[in-house]
Each structure stands twice: as structure tokens, then as C-alpha cells.
Amino acid sequence: MPARIDEVYAQATGILRIMEKKLLTRDALYGAAECASAADALKLLGRQGIYSYSALTSADSYNQALAGRLAQTYADLYRIVPDPDVIRVLSDRFGYHNLKLGLKAKRGGQAGEAALIDIRSPGEPPPRSIRADAAAGKFTRLPAHLAEAARQAEAAYKRSPAPQTLDIRVDCAMFKRLLALCDKLNNEFITGYVRASIDLLNLKTLMRMKKRQTPAYHLKEALAAGGALEESFFAGAYEKPLDALKTLFHYKFFGPMFETAASKFDRDGSLYWLEKAADNYLLEYLKEAKFIAFGPEPFFAFALGVENEIRQIRVIMAFKLNGMPDGMLRERLGGIYP
């Protein structure tokens, strides 16, 4: 008889609960945002016992600390989670990120090794190798799923030679891979997160192309498959004006947030608010994992919670280091997990 899920996850869940206590609180995050300087913000975060900053010497110092936090989180989760595919659904994304950097470097892209993310799924080569092999066109040296993504991106780039073409095709291949892993896991919560991510990506792609007035046939090629909504739904929305889109999307899961973001887009033409609303929707989705006592869901949500925390700290530091207004910073900060 197969072991019950509470038996499989009992010990790992105990360890996870300790790790969760190291997540930043909302008060700590917004307290850092209120600090007068970047150095003061880092000192406050350091007092939380999570990040160790003795002084702010350069942008690299906090970037290294954040990268270390992320790498340690994934290493710990791989060590304790009974089914590694729960974490692979997330860690595989970084291989595709590093692949993009290599494909763009092949065409003179400026992002160097500092932009690589050193989070690896088991058996995956180092980020530098992925970037170097992609840049050199040595796709046969890449893992099979990355090699296939590279070939698809190259073929699409020949038809439409623009940097965003590479991003789009690699993202589409990535989501196909993540959905295949979800099929193996057979977990409704994790699959739901990935499918919602696809729908939100397609929504952002639709709005981005409308803003640029890109020909409609390009949208059909740019949409990712596998979301809860068919690609044809987004393709059919392309020619509609903004008010008609609000009506069309009203009863979809992203309807309320789209209405708010669309009103701001109509005012200032910025898609930032849609990006933020999408991030906040996914964060709220993850918070449902708090109510699951045993299972893979809390581990999946925790990893993304750490990623969100790091993203918020980067926003704070970018504002502080560039002397931007605190009022604007508070507006830009998102939510926090849990």
C-alpha cells in the first residue's frame, strides 16, 4: 500500500515550518522602504537575521547576498522535499533564463555573466556552460529540453529577427516543459499555478503588442499554449478597444485586476500596473498553500515566496541607490508571502 501523503511529508514539513519563520514580514519590508538610505535599509534587513550585511560597499554586495539566499533556498528544498519534481517545476525556469542570455549573446546581447542565475535542476550543466553553448550555437551540448527550445527560438528568429522573438519562443517552450512536469506530479494546485501563469503571460503579451501596434498575426505566434484559456481567446481580443476588453475579461479570473490596471494604462500608457497586478494575483494564489497541512504545495509556494521577497528587496534598493521618491517606492512595492 502506498504511503499516505502526510506520512511522506511529515518530517519535511517540520523543517519547512522553521524555514518559513525566516521569511521577511510585511512590517520589515515596508520598514526598509521607509529608511533614509540604502545602507540603513540593509541594516534593518540584516537585523531580521536573514541577510548578513555589515555595510553597503557596492550594488554587487547586496546582489550577491540575494543570490546566495535564493541558491540556499533551492538547495535546502531539493534536500528535504520527497519528490524533487515539485521543485524542478520551478528550478527548470532558470535554465531557460540562462539559455535566453546565450541566444542573445550570439547576436551581440550586452547582458554578461552577472545576469546568469545559478539555480540548477539535478543533472543540469552550470549556467556559464548553458550560456556559452547557446552563444556558440552548440545546441547538442545542451540538455535535450533546452536544445529543443534553442532550435525553436532560432527558427522563429529567422522569420522575425527581433530580440523579443527569442524571449517569446523560449518562454513557450519552457511552459510546455513545466506542464509536462505538472502532468507527472498530478497536483491540482501546482498545475493551476502554472496554467494561470500562462494565461497572465498571454494577457501581458496581448496588451504589449496592442501598445506597440504590432500586426495581429505576430500575436498568434507569440501566445503560449496550455493555459486555462485557449490562445484563440486572446488572439480574438486583439482588435477590440480597451473598454470592450474590460467587458470581455470581466468574468475571467483576471477580470477585476485587469479593469484596475487598464484604467491606469488608459491614463499613463504604462503596462507596469498590469505586471504588478499579475504578480499580486499569483502571490494571493500561493497563499492558499498555507491551509494545506501536508503535501508538496507549501514547499512550492515557499520557493516562490522567497523569490518574491528578493524581488521586493531589489525594488527597494534600486529606489534607494538612485535617490527616487519614497512615495513612488511605496506605490511600487507588492505583497509579501505568506
For residue 182, what pLDDT is reported?
A: 97
Q: Could you tell me the pLDDT band of residue 1, with boundaries at 50, 70 and 90?
A: very low
For residue 115, what pLDDT is reported?
A: 87
Nearest to 279, CA basis, from 321, 314, 232:
314
Q: Which domain holds residue 9?
A: 1-81+296-338
For residue 19, what pLDDT is reported?
A: 92
Q: Is residue 6 part of a domain?
A: yes
Q: Is residue 116 part of a domain?
A: no
265 versus 303: the higher-pLDDT residue is: 303
Per-residue pLDDT of 57-103, as tens digits, reads 455 677 888 888 899 999 999 999 999 999 999 999 999 999 999 99
For residue 57, what pLDDT is reported?
A: 47
Q: What is the mean pLDDT of residues 32-36?
A: 87
For residue 262, what pLDDT is reported?
A: 85
- Cβ neighbours of 16 (radius 10 Å): 18
Q: Which of 31-40, 195-204, 229-238 has the lowest mean pLDDT?
A: 31-40
Dihedral Cα 202, 88, 77, 121, nearest 10 deg? -120
Q: Is residue 8 part of a domain?
A: yes
Q: Is residue 53 part of a domain?
A: yes
- Cβ neighbours of 291 (radius 10 Å): 8
Residue 112: half-sphere exposure toward Cβ, Cα within 13 Å? 1
Q: What is the mean pLDDT of residues 20-43?
A: 86
End-to-end CA distance of the chain: 35
User: Quick check: 46 pLDDT over 80?
Assistant: no
Q: Could you tell me the pLDDT band of residue 126, with boundaries at 50, 70 and 90?
A: very high
Q: Residue 185: exposed, middle, or buried by beta-carbon count in 10 A (0-12, 13-18, 19+)?
A: middle
Q: Is residue 25 part of a domain?
A: yes
Q: Is residue 306 part of a domain?
A: yes
For residue 52, what pLDDT is reported?
A: 53
User: Quick check: 55 pLDDT over 50?
Assistant: no
Q: Is residue 252 part of a domain?
A: no
User: Quick check: 54 pLDDT over 50?
Assistant: no
Q: Which of 56-65, 125-134, 189-198, 318-327 has the lowest mean pLDDT?
A: 56-65
The tally of domains found in the chain comes to 1
Per-residue pLDDT of 177-188, as tens digits, reads 999 999 999 999
3-state SS assignment for residue 173: helix
User: Quick check: 48 pLDDT over 50?
Assistant: yes
Q: Is residue 66 part of a domain?
A: yes
To the nearest whole number, what is the mean pLDDT of the chain?
88
What's 57's domain CATH number? Answer: 1.10.132.50
What pTM, to 2 d.p., does this model score? 0.92
